[in-house]
Amino acid sequence: MTAACPACVAVAPSSEPSGADAAQFSLPTIHCAACIGKIERELAGVIGVQSVRVNLSLKRLAVTGTVAPERVLSALENLGFEAYPLDAAALSRTRDDQGRALLTRLAVAGFAMMNVMLLSVAVWSGATDATRDMFHLISALIALPVVAYSAQPFFTNAWSALRVNRLNMDVPISLAIILAAGMSLYETLQSGAHAYFDAALSLTFFLLIGRYMDHRTRSAARSAARELTALEVHTAERLVGTRTQTVAVSDLAVGDTVVVPTGARVPADGTLLSSEALMDRSLLTGESAAVHLKAGDSVQAGEINIAAPMHLRASAVGQDTSLRRMTALVETAENARNSYTALADRAARIYAPAVHLLALVAFAGWAVATGDIRHALNIAIAVLIITCPCALGLAVPAVSTAAISRLFSEGFLVKHGTALERLAEVTHIVFDKTGTLTRPAIRVPDTMTDAEKAVAKSLAQVSHHPLSRALTAALSSTTPAQVTQIREVAGQGIEGTWHDQTARLGRGPWLDADFTGLGVRIGSNAPIQIETPETLREGAREAIDALDLPCEVLTGDAPAPAARLADQLGIPVTAEARPEDKLHRLETLAASGERVLMIGDGLNDTAALAAAHAALAPATALEASRSAADVVVLKESFADLPLVLRVARATRTLSQQNFTIAAVYNLIAVPIALAGYATPLAAALAMSVSSLTVLVNSQRMRLIK
């Protein structure tokens, strides 16, 4: 698996071709602009391809045209890129229409607010009678349609709450906007001295800023369960007599004989009928080494056949496969995380009814004391505006936006709206091993000639074996040789013909060598050993040493490499942990009161990532794992992981400070409004000052080290 490079942070992703005919592919090993350019240039020359676009942030390829998916996969393999077909219909590819609508409403409200304020200057300057009424009418013609349009998100949410006899933050907001605009219209029609259309518009404008900032912190969240569904195989080769039929996976039945070609993903759980098979289970179990199976062994949907074509008898299809069961686990875990109540939402439960009660008391008190309903209503409106939760609505989004910007500049992409709040509460950290704390490594011997490297790369790039992919990456600057008659020998390696000599890449004994690991041999030359150490990810040791929380590792790998990692890092490591074992461990920790941060990259980690209180994944992770994570590490090094927790804790602290600012403002402003000394316009100006104070305080996030 290729490491993410620093260019990933700066390069803007390409857009995808639109249209229903776009074939989708997951590209988990792309990492920078060079990868994008190479893929797009090469695939553009494939017959039948009309357009091709690579999306770096999603690590996804979209191809339009009449080309068969198999040809695209073959071309990508020849380029040295790992690729998996995706079901475009199962993916969420909708545009951010909600964010675009909010931004449009914000722009309209801001433009109208400035124009109405300019008209108000004439009134403040002493315009009276017909002139004043004319300016008020012009302001009404501008403000009323804009309020009806721009404040729709608040009106819609408020109505949804009221329909089920519930209060939320948008109820007092909507009431303040409607009453300010309505009372201003009444005053205008009655030739009153004051109208407050600018107050209604400024209220809408500042609240939309908070709503848009909040939306931006949530908009990157995507369903990991949907990504798992997209990874499923959608067609299968069913053996009927002596002939194979290409059928939809949904048409497979228990007992069917299925043919799985070399390099293909297994479409259903079953029992191996072939004499032997070599399977890549790294995406399902985290086990770094390929698994050698014999006839009668179990095979799971989602595994990759990396040797010769094989036959299996289906024992579980459709909803009963292992991949579907894992998808169900992820969906359950995602639903649990989505039930988390944000800090602002918890505050709204108390704040909303208190505001209504206060405005009602103000109206009733002044109506009884003066008998002037009009004056009492103006005071009640001023109380509603001055207590309008503008600062409260900005308290968390303003800090979150500053924190997300800060983390992105350090190489961390925050994807979930409540991620920082949950990260601040973390008390325990669980790591995956393979692909997360450790990286597959290849040490190409200095004694290898350029010709030997070229032959080795030519053999390696046609194999799906993890070590072959790592060797291809290590020889990225080498031009592959013209090796012919290449074939893969199950459980041994790959061989072909080069300059009338047999060239082999594989296990030492198969090369007649005295070592057991990976090696290459050309003709009668001596075998060359290629060391394959598993190395710690850059910065992993420094991060664990600097973290002030207990850590442990759960890995699907074998006990021996797990024990080596435990010795290196000095933290507990559990080996041979299956996806359900990881999920059970997290549930046990949660039951004991721990708030767990899960850090992983594989398909076997997806359920645990979704179930954890907070989750983090490297950019090289499988797309489903990145979707389940709250934060994606865009750079190779893990050294700055402690910074994520420090920023998250600072986010919580600054958010609480912002709530305090809003509370102090209300303690000062509310008595003034209740006493009748604040007009709706003065209330709107005071509200704006409190909102700006909250925004300025939020920028202190940039000082966190």
Q: pLDDT for 489-540, tens place per residue?
A: 766 788 999 999 999 998 888 999 988 778 999 999 999 999 877 788 889 9
Question: Does residue 425 surpass a pLDDT of 60?
Answer: yes
pLDDT score at 94 = 44
Reading the block at residue 438, the tokens are 């450790």
The token pair that represents 477 in the structure block: 């600057």
The DSSP symbol for 421 reads: H
Q: Which residue has the tokens 């910065």?
A: 539
Residue 432 bears catalytic tag: yes
Q: E strand or H helix at 503, and its extent? A: strand 501-507
Interval 120-166: pLDDT, tens: 776 766 667 788 888 889 999 999 999 999 999 889 888 887 887 77
- Residue 336: its pLDDT value, please? 45
Nearest Cα neighbor of 226 from 89, 70, 24, 52 is 89
Report pLDDT for 517: 79
User: How far apart are alpha carbons 236 and 69 in whole angstroms?
Assistant: 14
Confidence of residue 477 (pLDDT cuts 50, 70, 90): confident
Q: Which range is least confidently modeled, 31-40, 406-415, 423-432, 611-620? A: 31-40
Q: Cβ(187)–Cβ(206) under 8 Å?
A: no
Q: Residue 542: which pLDDT band, with cuts at 50, 70 and 90?
A: very high
Most confident of 260-274, 310-324, 683-697: 260-274
Ordered domains of the chain (ranges, CATH): 7-86 (3.30.70.100), 233-266+269-316 (2.70.150.10), 412-439+536-648 (3.40.50.1000), 442-532 (3.40.1110.10)
Structure tokens at 201: 């518009």
The listed range with the strongest mean pLDDT (5-14, 159-168, 412-421, 643-652) is 643-652
The owner of tokens 């951010």 is 96
User: What percentage of the chain reaches a pLDDT higher than 90?
Assistant: 17
pLDDT of residue 551: 94
pLDDT, residue 164, reads 74
On the 0-12 / 13-18 / 19+ scale of CB atoms within 10 A, 700 is: middle
Per-residue pLDDT band at 222 (split at 50, 70, 90): very low
CA-nearest of 640, 653, 642, 645 to 700 is 653
Alpha helices in 576-630 (DSSP H): 579-591, 606-611, 623-628
455 or 435, which is more confident: 455
Rounded Cα distance between 583 and 565, Å, is: 21
Query: For residue 91, is pLDDT > 90?
Result: no
d(CA 142, CA 195): 13
- Find, among 152, 209, 147, the residue nearest to 184 by Cα: 147
pTM for the structure as a whole: 0.57
Tell me what pLDDT residue 283 has. Answer: 57
When pLDDT is averaged across residues 474-483 and rounded to a whole number, the result is 87
pLDDT value for 341: 46
Q: Which of 256, 432, 557, 601 is catalytic?
A: 432
Give the tokens for residue 178.
């409607």
Q: Cα–Cα distances in Å, from 613 out to 19, 340, 559, 616?
A: 37, 9, 28, 11
Distance CA 229, CA 648 (A): 32
Spatial contact of 2 and 29, defined as CB atoms under 8 Å apart: yes
CA atoms within 13 A on the CB side of 2: 23
Single-letter code of the amino acid located at 665: Y
The pLDDT assigned to 147 comes to 93
Over residues 260-270, the mean pLDDT reads 82
Q: Per-residue pLDDT tens for 16-73?
A: 344 345 777 877 667 556 677 778 888 888 888 888 888 765 677 888 888 888 788 8
Report the mean per-residue pLDDT for the chain.
78
For residue 342, is pLDDT > 80? no
More confident residue, 17 or 288: 288
237 forms beta bridges with: 246, 259
The pLDDT assigned to 511 comes to 92
CA distances from 203 to 135, 147, 208, 349, 392 (A): 20, 10, 9, 21, 13
Distance (Å, whole) CA 74 – CA 83: 9
Q: In this structure, are strands 235-240 and 243-248 parallel, antiparallel, or unpaired?
A: antiparallel
pLDDT class of 642 with cuts at 50, 70, 90: very high
The DSSP call for residue 251 is G
The rounded percent of the chain whose pLDDT value lies above 70 is: 79
